[in-house]
Amino acid sequence: MARTESNIFENGTLAPEFSLTDTVTDRTMNLHQLKGNKVTVIMFICNHCPFVVHVNPQLVKLANDYKDKGVAFIAISSNDAENYPQDRPELMKQVAANLKYPFPYLYDDTQDVAKAYDAACTPDFYVFDGELKATYHGQLDNSRPGNGLPLTGEDLRQAIDAILNNKKPIEHQKPSVGCNIKWK
């Protein structure tokens, strides 16, 4: 598995709008329909990446922990499903059902959304405030496949809590690390 770090996404940048198919409901959804009242977390993930497989339990836990606090989680897969068939939309739907994702799992067939966010890896995490201004772009926590550190979601939790508690964004944001997005 190739280790790729996330690119820089400046705090204060407005979340690029998108309209994508939710593989769970087969409905087209856009950012403004899905955003949270207070916080929106956008995650670029996929089905097969070992880094995503590793963090999936914490993603579900985080989304469930914050769902009643005005926080929305949105998962997007932008991988080339033709060359990586395990990331096909019908399999995304199965993964979402099996793992009980409490968030939409959208498919970015054109990869335009990944490009708009300058996403580089899976997983890649972005946190936006109620006005959809970026406050965090970085790792979930220090846990990686095989490093023995527990999944805590600590960094992402701190970023979300900073907004909910009207505090400044985390000053030192560590990049996420994962598999590179599978570009067409």
Query: DSSP letters of 81-142?
Result: TTTSGGG-HHHHHHHHHHHT-SS-EEE-TT-HHHHHTT--EESEEEEE-TT-BEEEEE-S-S
Q: Are strands 39-44 and 71-77 parallel, antiparallel or unpaired?
A: parallel
CATH topology of domain 4-180: Glutaredoxin (3.40.30)
Please give the Cα distance from 30 to 43 (Å, whole number): 15
Identify any residues that bridge with 19 across adjacent strands, giving them in sequence order.
30
For the segment 17-62, what is each residue's pLDDT rounded down to a tens digit? 999 999 999 999 999 999 999 999 999 999 999 999 999 999 999 9
Q: Give me the residue spans of the domains in the chain.
A: 4-180
Q: How far is CA 106 from CA 16, 45, 62, 79, in A?
A: 15, 10, 18, 11
For the segment 104-126, what is each residue's pLDDT rounded down to a tens digit? 999 999 999 999 999 999 999 99
Lookup: tokens for 110: 């054109």
